Amino acid sequence: MSFDCGTTSTRTILFDHNGNIVSVAYQDFAQIYPKPGWVEHNPMDIWEAQLKTAKEALKQANASASDIVGIGITNQRETTIIWDKATGKPVMNAIVWQDRRTADVCQELKEQGLSEYVKENTGLLIDSYFSGTKIKWILDHIEGAREKAEKGELLFGTVDTWLIWNLTGGKVHITDYSNASRTMLFNINRIEWDDKLLRELAIPRAILPELRPSSDVYGLTVESLFGASIPVAAAVGDQQGALFGQACFQEGMVKATYGTGGSLLMHTGSKPIRSDSGLLTTVAWGLNNKVEYALEGLLYVVGASVQWLRDELKLISDAKETEQLAQEVADTNGVYVVPAFVGLSAPYWDQYARGAILGLTRGANRNHIVRATLESIAYQIRDVITCMEQDSGIKNSELKVDGGVCCNNFVMQFQSDLLGVPVIRPKVVESTARGAAFLAGLATGFWQSQSELLDTFELDRRFEPTFDICKRNQLYAGWQKAVDRSKDWEDH
């Protein structure tokens, strides 16, 4: 049983021994926007939606708790929850990874000269994306929170930690290395919480979860939830889960996840590779007493730009329409969309950039804007792959893809054209959930080894590039010019 707890929805998926989906249950939860640039979730909504989908997935499969070998959890990563240890009640809403309210705190940390220390020890850049400054914000702004935290009466967790705590009836307060490596508080070289950063951010160690490998039996679910106890046997950040689910077990393998946001990971083996081009160094997973690493390029807005076309601009009523609309025009008529709604992520890291539509002329119509929005997804991926190749010295030879947007054939073909390499889409595009299931299955003996998992990969479609190098580079140069125009827009 895999819990895939994303940013806008949560799902539970049951997988069989061949890695095939047996049943899926899905539920959206509310997005809360208290101020511009602020994004929150109600942690109780997340837990209730997850529990509801778990029961629904069992019902659909006509299965009971005793049929489930283990639960693997994969989750939106940097989202920050602090709750009362005694009552289990959150002290406020979760602050979501997209939230920018701590941009000023990040600026102060940079001015204190901490950038190099953070990069060297956490693999991250100082940015409000990560959990560290969000925790500080909650402790500084919620009445009584700091005092309670210092007495050890509050607990912090990312979404994996929150779900595991609730599943085990408050018995287990843990996170895995992959999620910990997204907090800006975790030393990826020593695999422990970093005392210096805890001091700098004034975060009491008492509130932090215990650190565990990604594939490990952490505890059992409370019997009353499902009628029998189930081992909770894996936790992994969603992007790392997708890397594992795509069987990218070897150095140099790359996958791209096209979700609400996006993420590219390149597996770099047992040593962290430092990036000189704005990528992150992150823990891929902890497994078999080993920690493996990855280079990551983060994209704030991927599928979210299609939601924007639907919900804000009302240009479409369903995301599925975009593929056909994009193909009704030969090109974008010179239009570029830069979806920097919450700033630019990798490799630019400009929190003051804002979204832009450029190159508009009188002939630009709805289809051109839809197409340019879809193309922006592929351009962002190319930005990151170029940097990965530079940092690792490894040339990318193919791209494995997953996530909702990868079902859009137009985007996948344009991606292949723009990169000049094949794009490989598997039959099971739920790689994130599959990765969590694989890790839980390895912890419980359901699968014996990673090599057994390789047999479960089935190809849906392979997209081959059709553009020549001149066309590829010309289009990309236009994108780079458009990105430059969107930078440093907000006053600061």
Question: Has 8 been labeled as part of a binding site?
Answer: yes
Question: Has 260 been labeled as part of a binding site?
Answer: yes
Question: Has 354 been labeled as part of a binding site?
Answer: no
Residues linked to residue 258 through DSSP beta bridges, in sequence order: 262
Do 374 and 410 form a contact (C-beta atoms < 8 A)? Answer: yes
Q: Which residue has the tokens 């490894």?
A: 394
Question: Has 238 been labeled as part of a binding site?
Answer: yes
Question: How far is residue 239's CA from residue 261's CA, in Å, rounded to a whole number?
Answer: 10
Per DSSP, the residues of 431-491 read HHHHHHHHHHHHHHTSS--HHHHHTT--EEEEE---S-HHHHHHHHHHHHHHHHHHTT-S-
Do 436 and 21 form a contact (C-beta atoms < 8 A)? Answer: no
Helix (H) or strand (E) holding 198: helix 195-200
Helix (H) or strand (E) holding 281: strand 280-287
Question: Has 190 been labeled as part of a binding site?
Answer: no
Helix (H) or strand (E) holding 386: helix 366-392
- What are the b/e assignments for 238-248, b being 16+ CB within 10 Å? bbbbbbbbbbb
Question: Has 152 been labeled as part of a binding site?
Answer: no
With vertex at residue 175, the alpha carbon angle to CA 169 and CA 177, rounded to the nearest 5 degrees, is 160
Question: How far is residue 396's CA from residue 248's CA, in Å, rounded to a whole number?
Answer: 13
Q: Which residue has the tokens 């094949």?
A: 422
Question: How far is residue 416's CA from residue 421's CA, in Å, rounded to a whole number?
Answer: 6
Per DSSP, the residues of 82-106 read EEETTT--BSSPEEPTT--TTHHHH
Structure tokens at 254: 């790359």
Q: How far is CA 40 from CA 5, 29, 146, 186, in A?
A: 15, 11, 20, 23
Question: Has 336 been labeled as part of a binding site?
Answer: no
Listed residue (481, 1, 4, 3) closest to 257, CA to CA = 4
The angle that helices 366-392 and 303-311 make with each other, rounded to 10 degrees, is 160
Listed residue (102, 165, 166) closest to 138, CA to CA = 102
Do 119 and 274 form a contact (C-beta atoms < 8 A)? Answer: yes
Listed residue (388, 402, 179) closest to 286, CA to CA = 179
Do 465 and 43 form a contact (C-beta atoms < 8 A)? Answer: no
For residue 16, count other CB atoms closer than 10 A to its CB: 12
Question: Has 455 been labeled as part of a binding site?
Answer: no
Question: Has 9 been labeled as part of a binding site?
Answer: yes
Question: Has 78 been labeled as part of a binding site?
Answer: yes
Q: Binding site for glycerol: residue ranges? A: 77-78, 129, 238-239
Could you list the residues known to form a binding site for ADP, using ranges: 7, 11, 260, 303, 404, 408
Binding residue numbers:
7-9, 11, 77-78, 129, 238-239, 260, 303, 307, 404, 408
List the binding residues for ATP: 7-9, 260, 303, 307, 404
Enumerate the known binding-site residues for sn-glycerol 3-phosphate.
Answer: 7, 77-78, 129, 238
